[in-house]
Amino acid sequence: MPRIRMTNCRDRRPSARVGARSRALALAILAAATACSTDSRTPLVVYSPHGQSLLDAFELRFEAEHPEYDLQTFDLPSQNIPDRLRAERANPQADVWFGASAVTFADAAHEGLLEPYVPSYASAIAVDARDVEWRWAGLYETPEIIAYSTAVIPEAEAPRDWDDLLDPKWRQRILIRDPNPSDTMRTIFGAMILRRWNESNGPDAGFEWLRGLARNTKDYPTSWDGLLLRINRQEADLTVWNLPDVSRVIRERGYALAIVFPKSGSPVVTDAIAIVRGAPRAEGARLFYEFCGRPDNLAYAAEAFYRIPARNDLDRATLPEWARNLEYTKMPMDWNLYRANIKKWMTYWASDIRSESAK
């Protein structure tokens, strides 16, 4: 495949890095909803890791159709959202959770944090892309990829598969997004463990692979935006991340990056949406849920933000050319094994592999 080169009261959103206490956060959100909705509109609160550009665009589109609502989006790391829903369980502040891996949603559903809702397009969502009780459903599919600096690495020398990243020539030339708060990186790390599972009848061979990657890793940026910026500035030469984010910075910011779909396959995350259990504005939450899953908005997300729709009934002609012609190998994943172990694996990575490589 050719390389891709491609709201109101804006200051109300709390920083994703601020570790505020849950009570202070809840009060801040209530204050934001009150302060920013001085008119007759109904505030509608959405938690999402999708990034401010996408959230601002969806806010404008949704409010144009539903002027009775003031959509208030909070851009948060995917792993922080369940923590906030737990803290707010007795007094929910959010109405919709828009984006994160299906595994993260499944854990939240198991804890009773999500409200069942069967969307109007339910028949177009594959059984393995939704919760059996409809507490969450897939909205996008997100392949994980390798990205490299075209200013430093000639195409002929670029890695072509995951194992190429362990080559000693990449020592101190790789940046990896801090994986603990990131569904994307947790998925990639989990996939590397699972693909070598049979070699050691367990995670050990995968852990050894992650040790090799850690030896070649220069740093662990705390945000994907900062990660890609540093690659573009040639502070390092390689990374692993997801297709939509890398494609967007190539197209919108002119970053000198190229994308590689690994030959052995890309882990593909089902990116989901759900209504928060006890959502204060349930009717608006259902409207936004339907809005996000509508064909025209899925096509818009594909065109503007490189999101691959999860619905299987779309007319492919309505999608941008890159999405119609996209070809890559999907890596098999045992998501049940992943879900049962990923927290334990990440704890081991942080305490043994990362700390060991830092010595």
Does the pLDDT value for residue 357 go beyond 70? no
Average pLDDT over residues 105-110: 97
* Pair 249, 115: CB distance under 8 Å: no
- 57: burial class by Cβ within 10 Å (0-12, 13-18, 19+)? middle
Comparing 122 with 326, which gets the higher pLDDT?
Answer: 122
* Pair 190, 342: CB distance under 8 Å: yes
Domains of the chain plus CATH, in order, are: 10-141+269-324 (3.40.190.10), 144-267+329-357 (3.40.190.10)
* Pair 149, 234: CB distance under 8 Å: yes
Handedness of CA 295, 80, 219, 252 (dihedral sign): positive
Reference 133, options 286, 274, 311, 281; nearest CA is: 274
Comparing 61 with 28, which gets the higher pLDDT?
Answer: 61
33-37, 225-229, 242-246, 317-321: segment of lowest average pLDDT? 33-37
Q: In the prediction, which pLDDT does 22 show? A: 47
Does the pLDDT value for residue 15 go beyond 70? no
Q: What is the pLDDT confidence band of residue 39, given thresholds at 50, 70 and 90?
A: confident
pTM, rounded to two decimals: 0.83
* Pair 258, 159: CB distance under 8 Å: no
Average pLDDT over residues 308-325: 93
Please name every residue paired with 309 in a beta bridge, in sequence order, or none if there are none.
Answer: 140
